[in-house]
């Protein structure tokens, strides 16, 4: 049984249009938003006695900034009613530039939202268009300024790199522009294309190439160098914080293998040694909740070996690495004893280091995080 404070995630599965690279679950009709909000409130009631308390709440999507202030308030009030939301909980909402206004942001702040994650992606209009984003660079800048004017002191931006037509030089300019707003947090993602997305099909059709391994590494290392030189902490493969205080508390829960409850269609949850996820369909989700059923698609019980592997996989994505003592205590895995030779080789190649009984990736190791976990 987990005793750690959990994270609460609410998946808002609505978007006004679909970005061409996106493989997240969302639909482009907002007709069912009211029903959806009521259903999430009912879903909270299913879990009210299971999760001890939450110190982070994250509205993700989809496009949570499509929620009206009234709908956001309904969800926040219900979360307070059904759960123990800790007094200084981190409450984040993702924001799509272009949907927002000063009144909207002010109202979110009044309701308790204290962190915004703005889906800037780029400050280059042609690139935004290529990605199929609805907003322009001007709207991205306006939403940042409006968020600051509304009093938000904890802002994160999402940015994408390694897109066709972009090179390290133009990416540097994007980072420079982002830094001019002194965001508290930056998430820099390499474009990855699921084969079902329209952009993947266009890449295939037009013979466009994804960056080679070397180019991708160049983007990754340059990003880290530019942002760490600007004073940011590179604390996870794609994530940077101005100080440790501004690391995403909510996302940390995923990487630290801490419990989280996901509500809404397609949302994932993790508690004890069990993981489950909801059906990725708004209508089925509403129907299940309407008939008093949890809308769970599947659940799985993880063995100690699986949990240990996951801990390793997730830990190797973070600068703090994996706590070897915890691996031993929780899952009976003595990694140093079992993988002595391989770890020695990784240390020789400067991909990992041992520090305070933790195995931590170096910057080059972080670039290969997913493969490192397979040791
Ligand atoms: S706004 Fe986000 S969730 Fe919606 S389509 Fe675009 S990338 Fe996907």
Confidence at residue 232, expressed as pLDDT on a 0 to 100 scale:
98
83 CA distance to ligand 1 centroid (A)?
29
d(C-alpha 24, C-alpha 40), whole Å = 19
Measured in whole angstroms, how far is the alpha carbon of residue 185 from the centre of its chain?
12
**Shortest-distance Cα residue to atom 8 of ligand 1:** 22
User: What residues contact 250, with CB distance under 8 A and at least 6 apart?
Assistant: 7, 9, 56, 57, 58, 90, 92, 260
Residue 1: band (very low, low, confident or very high) from pLDDT cuts 50, 70, 90: very low
Percentage of residues of the chain with pLDDT beyond 90? 86
- Cβ–ligand 1 distance for 121 under 6 Å, the answer no
Q: What is the pLDDT of residues 147-165, one digit of tens each?
A: 999 999 999 999 999 999 8
Q: What is the pLDDT of residues 284-322, one digit of tens each?
A: 999 999 999 999 999 999 999 999 989 988 999 999 999
Q: For the domain 6-255, what is the CATH superfamily, name and number?
A: Aldolase class I (3.20.20.70)
- Both tokens assigned to 177: 């522009």
For 106, phi then psi, to 5°, come to -60, -40
285 CA distance to ligand 1 centroid (A)?
20
Confidence at residue 211, expressed as pLDDT on a 0 to 100 scale:
85
Task: Specify the DSSP class assigned to residue 253.
Answer: H
- Cβ–ligand 1 distance for 62 under 6 Å, the answer yes
d(C-alpha 196, C-alpha 21), whole Å = 9
- Cβ–ligand 1 distance for 189 under 6 Å, the answer no
Picking from 83-97, 186-200, 201-215, which range would have the lowest pLDDT averaged per residue? Answer: 201-215
Q: What is the pLDDT of residues 36-68, one digit of tens each?
A: 999 999 999 999 999 989 999 999 999 999 999
Q: Which atom of ligand 1 is nearest to the CA of 61?
A: 3
Confidence at residue 212, expressed as pLDDT on a 0 to 100 scale:
87
State the span(s) of the chain assigned CATH 1.10.10: 318-372
Which residue carries 């307070």 as its tokens? Answer: 80
Average the pLDDT over 79-108 and give the result. 96
CATH 1.10.10 fits 318-372, yes or no: yes
Residue 99: band (very low, low, confident or very high) from pLDDT cuts 50, 70, 90: confident
218 CA distance to ligand 1 centroid (A)?
27
Which residue of 12, 24, 59 sits with most ligand 1 atoms within 8 Å of its CB, as the best mutation to test the pocket? 24
Exposed e or buried b for every residue in 334-359, given b needs 16+ CB within 10 A?
Answer: ebeeebeeebeebeeeebbeeeeebb
Residue 230: band (very low, low, confident or very high) from pLDDT cuts 50, 70, 90: very high
- More confident: 257 or 279: 279
Q: What is the pLDDT of residues 319-371, one digit of tens each?
A: 999 999 999 999 999 999 988 889 999 999 999 999 999 999 999 999 987 66
**Helix, strand, coil share of the chain (percent; to 5):** 40, 25, 35
User: What residues contact 289, with CB distance under 8 A and at least 6 apart?
Assistant: 39, 42, 43, 295
24 CA distance to ligand 1 centroid (A)?
7
**Shortest-distance Cα residue to atom 3 of ligand 1:** 62
d(C-alpha 234, C-alpha 242), whole Å = 9
Q: Distances in Å between the alpha carbon of 254 and those of 60, 63, 77? A: 14, 21, 25
Say whether pLDDT at 374 is over 70: no
Average the pLDDT over 213-222 and give the result. 92
Average the pLDDT over 254-261 and give the result. 94
Q: Which atom of ligand 1 is nearest to the CA of 94?
A: 2
- Cβ–ligand 1 distance for 18 under 6 Å, the answer yes
**Shortest-distance Cα residue to atom 2 of ligand 1:** 62
* pTM of the model as a whole: 0.95
State the span(s) of the chain assigned CATH 3.20.20.70: 6-255
**Shortest-distance Cα residue to atom 6 of ligand 1:** 19
**Shortest-distance Cα residue to atom 7 of ligand 1:** 22
């Amino acid at each position: 049984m987990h005793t750690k404070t959990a994270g609460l995630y609410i998946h808002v599965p609505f978007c006004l249009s679909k970005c061409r690279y996106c493989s997240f679950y969302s639909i482009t009709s907002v007709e069912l938003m009211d029903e959806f909000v009521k259903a999430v409130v009912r879903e909270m009631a299913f879990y009210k006695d299971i999760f001890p308390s939450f110190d982070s709440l994250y509205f993700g999507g989809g496009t949570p900034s499509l929620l009206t202030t009234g709908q956001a308030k309904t969800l926040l009030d219900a979360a307070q009613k059904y759960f123990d939301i800790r007094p200084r909980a981190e409450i984040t909402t993702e924001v799509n530039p272009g949907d927002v206004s000063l009144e909207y942001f002010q109202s979110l702040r009044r309701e308790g939202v204290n962190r915004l994650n703005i889906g800037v992606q780029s400050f280059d209009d042609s690139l935004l268009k290529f990605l199929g984003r609805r907003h322009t660079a001007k709207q991205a800048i306006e939403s940042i300024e409006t968020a600051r004017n509304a009093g938000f002191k904890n802002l994160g931006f999402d940015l994408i790199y390694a897109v066709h037509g972009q090179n390290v030089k133009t990416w540097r300019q994007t980072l420079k522009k982002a830094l001019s707003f002194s965001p508290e947090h930056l998430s820099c993602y390499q474009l990855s294309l699921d084969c079902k997305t329209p952009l993947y099909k266009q890449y295939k059709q037009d013979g466009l190439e994804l960056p080679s391994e070397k180019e991708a590494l160049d983007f990754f290392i340059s990003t880290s160098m530019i942002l760490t030189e600007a004073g940011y902490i590179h604390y996870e493969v794609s994530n940077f914080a101005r100080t440790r205080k501004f690391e995403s508390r909510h996302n940390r829960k995923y990487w630290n293998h801490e419990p989280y409850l996901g509500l809404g269609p397609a949302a994932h949850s993790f508690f004890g040694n069990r993981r489950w996820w909801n059906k990725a369909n708004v209508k089925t989700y509403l129907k299940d909740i309407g008939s008093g059923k949890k809308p769970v698609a599947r659940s799985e019980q993880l063995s100690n070996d699986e949990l240990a592997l996951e801990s390793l996989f997730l830990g190797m994505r973070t600068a703090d690495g994996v706590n070897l003592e915890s691996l031993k205590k929780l899952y009976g895995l003595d990694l140093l004893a079992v993988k002595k030779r391989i770890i020695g080789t990784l240390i020789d190649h400067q991909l990992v280091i041992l520090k305070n009984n933790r195995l931590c990736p170096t910057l080059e190791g972080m670039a290969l995080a997913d493969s490192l976990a397979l040791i």
